[in-house]
Amino acid sequence: MSERFENIGHIVSYKLFAIVWIVLLILTGVTVAVAQVDLGPLNIWVALTIASLKSGLVIAFFMHMKYEQPLFKICLMTALVILAIFIGFTFLDVLYR
């Protein structure tokens, strides 16, 4: 009997999805508001930080990564860190030309 219920997974409430959606809307508003302020070279870093927070929320809740096995989380984080390193090196190259 326990084998039958082993692959059911998890159940996430609509309330949690609504809260995450509202937080994403607020962060989008913050992105638009910050874009109107001249922060000099920090504009891109602030925009990337907010975008990273938003993508983290989407991956964690809407793509159900929060409920996955640790090995899968480690593989995803490794890929994202490598991507961030490549993007960072690109910014450094463009910045010092």
Query: Does residue 1 fall inside a structural domain?
Result: no
Q: How far apart are CA 17 and CA 75, in angstroms?
A: 25
Query: Does residue 90 fall inside a structural domain?
Result: yes
pTM given for the model: 0.73
Query: Does residue 73 fall inside a structural domain?
Result: yes
Q: Is the pLDDT of residue 89 over 80?
A: yes
Please state the domain count of the chain. Answer: 1
What is the tens place of the pLDDT at every residue in 4-59? Answer: 656 667 788 899 999 999 999 999 999 999 999 998 888 888 998 999 999 999 99
Query: What per-residue confidence (pLDDT) applies to 22?
Result: 97
Query: Does residue 7 fall inside a structural domain?
Result: no
In terms of residue numbers, what domain contains 87?
14-95
Query: What per-residue confidence (pLDDT) applies to 2?
Result: 55
Query: Does residue 82 fall inside a structural domain?
Result: yes
Q: How far apart are CA 50 and CA 55, in angstroms?
A: 9
Query: Does residue 87 fall inside a structural domain?
Result: yes
